[in-house]
Amino acid sequence: MATVRHVSHQVAVMYLGRIVELASAEQLFKDPQHPYTRALVSAVPIPNPRLEAQRPVQVLEGEVPSPADSPSGCHFHPRCPLAQDVCKVQEPQLRLTENGHLTACHFAD
Q: What is the pLDDT along the chain (109 residues), one digit of tens a residue?
A: 777 877 899 999 999 999 999 999 999 999 999 999 999 999 888 788 888 788 888 889 988 899 899 999 999 999 999 999 999 999 999 999 988 899 999 998 7
| Cα 83 → chain centroid | 13
pLDDT at position 52 is 75
Q: Do 87 and 80 meet the contact criterion of CB atoms below 8 Å apart? A: yes
In whole angstroms, what is the distance from residue 23 CA to residue 53 CA? 28
